[in-house]
Amino acid sequence: MELYVVDAFTDRAFAGNPAGVVLLDGPVDDAWMQAVAAEMKHAETAFVRVDCPDPLPLRWFTPVAEVDLCGHATLATAHVLGGSRGFGTRSGVLTCTAEDGWVEMDFPADPAEPIGMTTTLRAGLPGVTVRAVAQGVSDVLVEAASADEVRDLRPDFDALAEVPGRGVIVTAPGDRPGLDVVSRCFYPTYGVPEDPVTGSAHCTIASWWTPRLGRADLLAEQASARGGLVRTTLDQDRVRLAGQAVTVIRGRLIV
């Protein structure tokens, strides 16, 4: 089986979010996929059945668990397969299209509803001036007072691991011309203390910021150490996410 490592949401190698992509020519055991993902140690490894007609069956595994939706590994998979493909997933059919070196993905929107601040969440985000807290289907979103607070944050991962749900998004308005939103995303419960660039989180980020900024099209930066850019377009109950990708490794699985 062919195996790739792709840096997603970036136009250069060794930036963005690396994802494993395994091209399956038939059914495999769930435990085997989880073992491969643990061996790869990326935030997610994607497993796609290429012996099927579109939409190709696609699943994503972190080093410790399967997840319902992963943007950067979907982008990486579409990139490996030529850019324009449809995938059948636990989150429904996801459609990807390629244009001018970017791959656009059509994902379900994930609007977050306001909730109260908790002691655990506050302990996990020292130095953050919290403007709002909201709960999406997957993640808790925390709006910070400034992009500097997002960039400078040194989270307490033990505390964040106690927050119910998949993880925590910390976000603020952008701090340079043309940049609308800044965010960082933390998933210690899933073995990913900080995710470099999280496509699926932008289903919540876009749903949160689009009405507040008054623009349907946003450019969002995920300000991790590797960093990356995501274009978002909110269209009713869907979000179109676009990014670039670079293949850095190609090989074969022999077990």
> Secondary structure of the chain: what % helix, strand, coil (to 5)?
20, 40, 35
Q: Which of 44, 104, 149, 194 is catalytic?
A: 44
Task: Read off φ and ψ for residue 224, nearest 5 degrees.
Answer: -80, 180
Read out DSSP for 82-148? TS-EEEEETTEEEEEEEETTEEEEEEE--PPEE----HHHHHHSTT--EEEEEE-SSEEEEEES-HH
Q: To which residue do tokens 């390629």 refer?
A: 98
| 3: enclosing H helix or E strand | strand 2-8
The reply to whether 44 belongs to the active site is: yes
Task: Read off φ and ψ for residue 186, nearest 5 degrees.
Answer: -130, 130
Alpha helices (H) in 155-249, listed in sequence order: 157-160, 201-213
| 36: enclosing H helix or E strand | helix 30-40
> How many beta carbons lie within 10 A of that of residue 252, not counting itself?
8
Catalytically active residues, by annotation: 44
